Chains A and B, each alone.
Chain A
Amino acid sequence: MENFFINISVVLGLLIIISMYRAIMGPTIFDRIIGSGFIGTKAIVVLALIGFIYQRIDMFIDLAIVYSILNFTGTLIFSKYFLTKGDK
């Protein structure tokens, strides 16, 4: 089962690398925000999978909780900031 988790983590890492194209080269600033939020979701799932691979799920679950809260707050603050500032 650990090999299964390792394979899933490798596929998720490839998805992160592919979606970095939209986070770096996106035409507008909002595309970059979408790309970074997408990478953040993958990072939450990969953190939970790493906890199962290393048999330290009690530590990595707390890291995943903190990272999910940070990701949500970051997206919300960026959206409020560019609401007032505009796409400049």
Chain B
Amino acid sequence: MVILSKILILAGLFFFLTSVIGLLRFPDFYSRMHATGKGDTLGAFLVLSGLALYNLHHGFEWLVIVQSIKLLLIAFFWFIVSPTATHALLRSAYESGKMPWTKDNKTVIDWPPQKEN
């Protein structure tokens, strides 16, 4: 159980590392959001579930099980909430007029966005 939780925590750290590289190196706001919105979510989920698994290694008392359930609650809450925040931020950037980066400044989307009704 300890070995498995160690593997989960190290995998989460790998996803955090890749999302930091994407945050620093990508050329555009939208592509930076592509890197952090996914790597951040999966990294936090893996690390927190690894910690919840490690918390059970002393024994299965009632208090310990409640603490592990709370850790998994944070993990699932963040798994739902982080893509929601990313989506809201991307919609805000799109509707306030940010153009996505292309290689030779071609326009790939229609601007302003077509409002229905």
| A contact residues vs B (CB 8 Å cutoff) | 1, 4, 8, 11-12, 15, 18-19, 21-22, 27-28, 30-31, 33-35, 37-38, 41-42, 44-45, 48-49, 52, 57-58, 61-62, 64-65, 68-69, 72, 75-76, 78-80, 82-83, 85-87
Contact = CB atoms under 8 A, between A and B. Distances in A.
Nearest to B93: A30
Contacts of B82: 41, 72
A18 B71 contact: no
13 contacts: A18-B24, A19-B23, A19-B24, A27-B29, A31-B32, A37-B36, A37-B40, A41-B40, A48-B47, A48-B74, A68-B78, A85-B96, A87-B97
B29 to A, nearest CB: 5
B92 A52 contact: no
Given A11-B13, A61-B67, A61-B74, A45 B48 contact: yes
B20 A83 contact: no
Contact of A65 (B17, B74, B92, B93): B74
Interface of B: 2, 6, 9, 12-13, 16-17, 19-20, 23-24, 29, 32-33, 36, 40, 43-44, 47-48, 51, 54-55, 63, 67, 70-71, 73-74, 77-78, 81-82, 84-85, 88-89, 91-93, 95-98
Contacts of A61: 67, 70-71, 74
A8 B9 contact: yes
Contact of B16 (A15, A28, A75): A15
Contact of A48 (B43, B51, B77): B51
A57 B56 CA distance: 12
